[in-house]
Structures are given as C-alpha cells and as structure tokens.
Amino acid sequence: MLKVLKAGFYTTIQDAGRFYYRNKGVPVSGVMDEISVFKLDSLLENEEPSAVLEITMTGPTLVFEKETYMALGGAKLSATLNNLPIQNYKVYKIEKGDIISFGKLEKGFRSYLAVKGGFTSEQVLGSRSFYRPITKNNRLNDNDIVPYSTQLNFQPKISEIKVDSFLDDTVLEVTKAPEFDLLTDKQLEDIFSKTFTVAHENNRMAYQLTETIRPHTISMLTSATIPGTVQLTPAGKLIVLMKDGQTTGGYPRVVQLTDKAICILAQKKGGDSLSIKLV
C-alpha cells in the first residue's frame, strides 16, 4: 500500500486509457505523456499497460507501506527519497516506510511515478484511470491509500537509462484534420507561422492557446473528436483536446496532433511558447 501524506496540486492514477466506450461519451483518459510512461514500464519490465501516478506541477508526499521497486519519469520535480535526491529513469529498491517527496518544479509539467507491477486500484470500464464522472475520485487526497503489486524477486536488467528528453521541445507536429481544407490560405498561414502561447486555461480536458488566427463562419454538425484534435472557434481561438476531452464537438477540426506532440504539449504550462508544423 502507498499512503498519501500530502496529495500535491493534482495527482491522479492513470494507465494507458479507457477504450471502446467513446460511443457512450466516455473519454479515453489515461496518461497525458505516453512516451515517458513507456520508458518507465520498460525499465521496470512491466506488462503494459501498468497504472502509474501522474503528478502535476507540485508533487505529493508518499510513504510506501511495503517493499517494491519504483522509477520516476517525465517532468523534473526535485524528488527525494528519505530526504536524499533521486533522479528520473532510474530503478530504486523501496523498503517499507520509505518516504518520497517532491520539491521545486525544474522542467516540464507532469511527472510520473511507476512501481514494479503497477498500481492495482479498482478498474472501471477496463481502466484504472481517474475520470470524475465514472470513478470514485478525480484526484488523490491526503490520507488516501493506493494499493500496488509486490514483486520482491525482481532483478532489473537495466537499472537506469539516459533519455533524449523532449521537455524543451516547442514544435507540435500535426496532420490534416477533417475540416483542414475549409481554411483559407491566410488562416493556414496564421497557424503555421505564428508563435503561440499556452493559455492558463489548460488541464487534462483541453489546452487553449492565447493567440488567435483569423475568424471563420464555417457551419458544421457536431462530429467525433479524439485526443490531439485541434478545434477552431468562430473567434479564431485554437483549442487542443487532451486525454479527458469530450468525444464530440461542433467546432471545425483543423489539425490533429501526432502522438509525440500530445506528449510534448502535456509537459507545457501556462505561458510556455510553441509553434505548429504540418507533417
């Protein structure tokens, strides 16, 4: 069991996501930064998908109540284990009573804590991912207890990896979305030449961009959306749907983020700058 002494700003349990229910209006959910979590699962030799803690902006303080192995990835949050600094993408042997805590946000926005075998909280519709309308919680709270697997005979083949971090990447690669061809040349020029700023209206549902492009009068029926879909409002604002985003929308879907671009954006916070590139 993992006991939450201090929950931090926004800590949730997430796995690969909740599939096959979008026709019922249920978002995919799951980890925002799949690349970082894939590396952690590889280090811990977990069978995918394993459930992890997704830690946003400020980290929790947690006490392990039984032995395990763990690793951190994603954003750098000045993590310590029993008050000693620890690093990302390195396997640590955990003893009963060990305490992990997080300090200043150094780089990125979302950090991930993975354990050998994954967290074993309740599954809802085939996933352990928190999502307020269908799970008991939308985040961890102080004094919560989170169960996890125990595999004491684990001998990691690789104890740490050096990764090419994309936390500094500022280019979001996109492909054409269904209403792309309805945009004017000037609107396309705006999208692919401007530097955009992440608005403070950003969360697991969607990221808004501060700068606008030329407005439009496109009329369309509500249509399907997926994580990474970029919608354009009539006023010219770009809204990027993320893992908890709605399953349909009535705004034109102008471009679609690649999987890597979703991970890059997930590590951005309000005020960060980025550009959009068509691939």
Model confidence pLDDT, tens digit, residues 66-100: 999 999 999 999 999 999 999 999 999 999 999 99
136 shares its domain with 205: no
20 shares its domain with 118: yes
Residue-wise pLDDT for 3-25, tens only, equals 999 999 999 999 999 999 999 99
74 shares its domain with 184: no
pLDDT band at residue 136 under the 50/70/90 scheme: confident
pLDDT at 177: 98
- Does any domain span residue 158? no
Query: Do strands 273-278 and 171-176 pair parallel, antiparallel, or not at all (unpaired)?
Result: parallel
- Does any domain span residue 165? no
90 shares its domain with 178: no
pLDDT at 153: 84
- Given 129, 146, 163, the domain boundary residue is 146
Nearest one of 76, 72, 2, 4 to 39, comparing CA atoms: 72
- Given 146, 180, 203, the domain boundary residue is 146
Instruction: Tell me: pLDDT of 164 over 80.
Output: no
Q: What is the rounded average pLDDT of the residues 199-210?
A: 97
pLDDT at 152: 78
Q: What is the mean pLDDT of the chain?
A: 96
CA-to-CA dists, residue 54 to 18, 99, 139, 180, 209, angstroms: 16, 17, 10, 33, 23
Q: What is the rounded average pLDDT of the residues 46-59?
A: 92
pLDDT at 151: 76
Three-state SS string over 151-166 comes to CCCCCCCCCECCCCCC
Under 8 Å between Cβ of 54 and 37: no
- Reported pTM: 0.96
272 shares its domain with 182: yes
Instruction: Tell me: pLDDT of 163 over 90.
Output: no
Q: What is the rounded average pLDDT of the residues 230-235?
A: 97
pLDDT at 176: 98
Q: Domain with 242 in it: what CATH number?
A: 2.40.100.10
- Does any domain span residue 159? no
Q: What is the rounded average pLDDT of the residues 144-169?
A: 89
pLDDT at 227: 98
9 shares its domain with 139: yes
Q: What is the rounded average pLDDT of the residues 214-236?
A: 95
Under 8 Å between Cβ of 125 and 18: yes
Bigger pLDDT: 48 or 158?
158
211 shares its domain with 272: yes
pLDDT band at residue 63 under the 50/70/90 scheme: very high
175 shares its domain with 142: no
Q: Which domain holds residue 190?
A: 171-278
Residue in the block written with tokens 């811990």: 44
- Does any domain span residue 140? yes
82 shares its domain with 180: no
- How many domains, in total, are found in the chain? 2
123 shares its domain with 189: no
136 shares its domain with 191: no
pLDDT at 230: 98
- Does any domain span residue 161? no
199 shares its domain with 254: yes
pLDDT at 165: 81
- Does any domain span residue 180? yes
